[in-house]
Amino acid sequence: MSAVPEPCLLLSFEDARHLVEHHAATQHPRGKELVELLDGAAAGAGQVLAEPVFADRNFPPFPRAMRDGYAVRASDLSQLPVTLEVVGEVKAGAAKRDIPVLQASQAASIMTGAPAPPGADAVVMVEYTTRQGDRVQITKAVAAGDNIVPAGSEAKRGERLLSPGLRLDYRAVAVAASAGKSRLLVYRKPQVAILATGDEVVDIDVPPRATQIRNSNSYSLAAQVQAAGGEPLLLSIAPDKPARLRELIAYGLEADLLLLAGGVSMGRYDLVEQILEEFRAEFFFTSVRIQPGKPAVFGRVPSGAGAPAREQVESTSAHTYFFGLPGNPVSTMVTFELFARPVIEALAGVAPRKLVLLNASLKSEIKTKTGLKRFLPAILSGEFEHAEVELAAWQGSGDVAAMVRANCYIVIPPDREQIAAGERVPVLLM
Ligand code: AMP
Ligand code: MG
């Protein structure tokens, strides 16, 4: 068995993240499928559009009234008040033959969403009008174009409305529905194998002995994988023994991505990196200057290396990537979000995006040690423009109970020992 990779590849957070983004950019989804509009956008499904959607007509298809009132010619309103002849009423959905053509000094009663009549160039809101029989008095001027959305001004027929790589949500669904697309081509979800390791870890339906720990990581990771657009595949728990660990890693490497949890620290039974080396793994980092999550590992093995004895599965990629995430549950969660998520999104077909932190005002002073970039569970509160944040009470990286009290991380740069109350601090939402 070979030793832990040399040299120890310790990176800054930013370098590690950039490296992951670089490799993610080389990854592609594994296929496409047709789904019903709502199935593709169902909460939690988060499927990713694999085809462009074009406007099949002008948006809007006709000059559309934005207000209830009177369609007029703006030039008729130069002297106020003015009285115009009402020559008809235009309802939303009115047939073309029922729409009057407006001549000088004429107006047509019109409703929001109705087509503006030919000859009209503006709509006066009903609030500025008084109707008497077939006449209407108008007390407010309008400019040409007021309260009418010109045909094709939102999008021209044939224009691209949605691009591949967009995750389907309520906005995309509205656009697809407007263009008459009841089914959409989406990318197949990548399969992400999840392997929890540790002699002390037992599955959740087994009564744990006093010193055993229930496997929460496989489940939290599975939920995170789903949220990122992947299909989780939970493997059996691997003990800290080479033979079985090797077997399960081989199996996991047949998926589109392998996530390991635990067994990547410096302990005597942290075997994950050694076993991965046997699969000719290339390591991009084996440690990152962050807390929690310092022992995080990222690398890849040549395709097929995971299944030497098995039937070779058809592979669309030369490598299978893996992450070795530290086993402390909070570390597992944080390092997934910071590093594994972009790779899963790339495999799911999502257009790449950068990690962006927001700012909030710190409620109470933070004292910490320098050297690591910290992502500390925190509580964002306040209201409207006044976002405030404070650290959540927690007992360190094993404290999953603290994570549900938190709703974000405060991000502390590695060179800060003390941050005063009132200072604006970067925040990463959960
Ligand atoms: P490791 O990264 O293997 O050194 O594990 C670090 C800590 O996380 C230990 O206290 C483990 O008991 C705990 N741990 C490891 N794997 C899991 C898991 N799957 N679920 C919950 N806790 C875990
Ligand atoms: Mg362990």
Tens digit of pLDDT for each residue in 346-399? 999 999 999 999 999 999 999 999 999 999 999 999 999 999 999 999 999 999
The predicted model gives 173-192 an average pLDDT of: 97
Q: In 253-318, which ranges are continuous DSSP H helix?
A: 272-278
Distance 8 CA to ligand 2 centre (A): 19
In which residue are the tokens 């009057």 written?
100
Per-residue pLDDT at 1: 45
pLDDT tens, residue by residue, 211-229: 999 999 999 999 999 999 9
Residue 7: which pLDDT band, with cuts at 50, 70 and 90? very low
Q: What is the CA radius of gyration of the chain?
A: 30
Q: Which atom of ligand 1 is nearest to the CA of 295?
A: 2
DSSP codes of every residue in 61-84? SS-EE-SSEEEE-GGGGSSSSEEE
Per-residue pLDDT at 42: 73
Task: Evaluate: CB of 172 within 6 angstroms of ligand 1.
Answer: no
Per-residue pLDDT at 315: 56
Per-residue pLDDT at 214: 97
Question: What is the Cα–Cα distance from 238 to 248, expressed in whole angstroms?
Answer: 7
Per-residue pLDDT at 306: 66
Distance 326 CA to ligand 1 centre (A): 7
Ligand 1 atom 17 nearest Cα: 327
Residue 5: which pLDDT band, with cuts at 50, 70 and 90? very low
> For residue 154, which of 54, 57, 56, 59 has the smallest C-alpha distance?
59
Residue 35: which pLDDT band, with cuts at 50, 70 and 90? very high
Task: Evaluate: CB of 196 within 6 angstroms of ligand 1.
Answer: yes
Question: What is the Cα–Cα distance from 9 to 32, expressed in whole angstroms?
Answer: 37
pLDDT tens, residue by residue, 228-257: 999 999 999 999 999 999 999 999 999 999
Q: What angle do CA 100, 106, 109 make, to 5 degrees?
A: 60
Q: Say whether pLDDT at 2 is over 70.
A: no
pLDDT tens, residue by residue, 281-308: 999 999 999 999 999 999 999 998 765 5
Q: Say whether pLDDT at 159 is over 90.
A: yes
Task: Evaluate: CB of 331 within 6 angstroms of ligand 1.
Answer: no
The predicted model gives 400-409 an average pLDDT of: 96
Give the number of whichever ligand sits closest to the CA of residue 212. Answer: 1
Q: Which atom of ligand 1 is nearest to the CA of 327?
A: 2
Per-residue pLDDT at 374: 98
Q: Say whether pLDDT at 314 is over 60.
A: no
Give the number of whichever ligand sits closest to the CA of residue 219. Answer: 1
Secondary structure (3-state) at 154: coil
Q: Which atom of ligand 1 is nearest to the CA of 218?
A: 19
Share of the chain above pLDDT 90, in %: 92
Residue 310: which pLDDT band, with cuts at 50, 70 and 90? very low
| Selected residue with higher pLDDT from 2 and 273 | 273
Per-residue pLDDT at 304: 81
Distance 330 CA to ligand 1 centre (A): 10
DSSP strands (E only) in 17-75: 32-36, 53-54, 64-65, 69-72
Pair of tokens at residue 289: 């200057």
Question: What is the Cα–Cα distance from 111 to 106, expressed in whole angstroms?
Answer: 17
| Selected residue with higher pLDDT from 105 and 314 | 105
Residue 147: which pLDDT band, with cuts at 50, 70 and 90? very high
Round the average pLDDT of the chain to a whole number and report it: 94
Give the number of whichever ligand sits closest to the CA of residue 398. Answer: 1
Per-residue pLDDT at 40: 83
The predicted model gives 295-322 an average pLDDT of: 78
Ligand 1 atom 5 nearest Cα: 327
**211, 406, 258, 189: CA torsion to nearest 10:** 140
Question: What is the Cα–Cα distance from 121 to 381, expressed in whole angstroms?
Answer: 48
Q: Say whether pLDDT at 313 is over 80.
A: no
Question: What is the Cα–Cα distance from 97 to 106, expressed in whole angstroms?
Answer: 18
Distance 262 CA to ligand 2 centre (A): 5
Residue 430 and residue 379 in contact, taking contact as beta carbons nearer than 8 Å = no
Pair of tokens at residue 254: 């047949």
Per-residue pLDDT at 316: 62
> What's the burial of 19, exposed, middle or buried (CB within 10 Å: 0-12/13-18/19+)?
middle
Q: Say whether pLDDT at 186 is over 50.
A: yes
Q: 263-267, 319-323, 368-372: which has the minimum mean pLDDT?
A: 263-267
